Amino acid sequence: MSQGDFLQDEPVSPPGKPGAAGHRARLRERLLGGGAEALADYEVLEYLLFGALARGDTKPLAKALLARFGTLAGVLNAEASALKQVKGISDASVGQIKIAALVARRMARSEVQDKPVLGSWQSLLDYLAIDMAHLNVERVRVLYLNSRNRLLVDHHFGEGTIDEAAIHPREVIHRAMDLGASALILVHNHPSGNPEPSRADIDITKRIAEAGRPLGILVHDHVIVGREGHVSLRAKGLI
């Protein structure tokens, strides 16, 4: 649905369902009857805000949030302090938004846990995108896997540009040995939104792979996440 679609005026309320109450009822009916695509992004936010505002029209708040943060994902991943800068957004409203974000993360994580990661690759990418694509700082993580390629630990190494100041090859491999990991996947995000790897991204990946090889610890991939998508260094032939 285009931006123009959600800027259209709300249809006149039918008899017996006046004003905001009728609008809420119609949204609920569409949600229950139409599935995942029944509501536009602004309507999803409207519905979330119903829990914080017992009465009244939440559409202006929903549209203000989208105007400020750009997308539904941008709203869900925004810092609480930034959300409260939008006029009319209370602590209760922030709570509704953040619990929805938490549910999304937990659902995505459940699709990755206790499954072979390489056989659930799209689920892994979805999990990483939900968790990292909209961060405003660069974050470095290492997913440690056992011999069956199941996730042992999702380790947050630190924040900052991915170089030896943030993630030293020796530390990554030492942690793998402590965990009894057989393989690992490097992950970090680009706050710029563009996930294309830098020379530093490629160099540190090769150094970690070289450090792990004599010890039988395989670097499966290095995934870079951004708002514009993701890049796999292995898919690009860079590992």
Query: Each residue of 142-169: pLDDT tens digit?
Result: 999 999 888 898 998 877 666 555 678 9
Same-domain pairing of 79 and 55: yes
Which pLDDT score is estimated for 3?
44
Regarding whether 218 and 173 lie in a shared domain, the answer is: yes
- What pLDDT does residue 19 have? 62
Indicate whether 189 and 121 sit together in one domain: yes
Tally of domains within the chain = 2
Residues 125 and 221 in one domain: yes
* Torsion angle defined by CA atoms of residues 168, 182, 113 and 74, in that order, rounded to the nearest 10 degrees: 30
H runs (alpha helix) in the chain: 3-6, 19-34, 41-50, 59-69, 72-76, 80-83, 91-110, 121-132, 169-179, 199-212
Does 87 fall in a domain?
A: yes
What is the pLDDT at residue 73? 85
Question: Are 96 and 129 in the same domain?
Answer: no
Give the residues across from 159 on adjacent strands.
139
Distance CA 113, CA 220 (A): 17
Q: Which two tokens stand for residue 62?
A: 């929903």
Residue 13 included in any domain: no
CB atoms within 10 A of CB 230: 18
Tokens 């009822």 label which residue?
A: 25
- CATH number of the domain at 203, please: 3.40.140.10
In a domain, residue 9? The reply is no
Whether 35 is in a domain gets the answer: yes
pLDDT, position 164: 52
Residue 64 lies in a domain: yes
Single pTM value for the model: 0.70
Domain that holds residue 64: 19-107
Same-domain check for residues 129 and 97: no
All residue ranges of the chain with pLDDT < 70 are: 1-20, 35-36, 160-166
Please indicate, yes or no, if residue 137 is contained in any of the structural domains: yes
Which of these three, 107, 138, 168, is where a domain ends?
107
Q: Is residue 5 part of a domain?
A: no
Last-in-domain residue among 72, 107, 142: 107
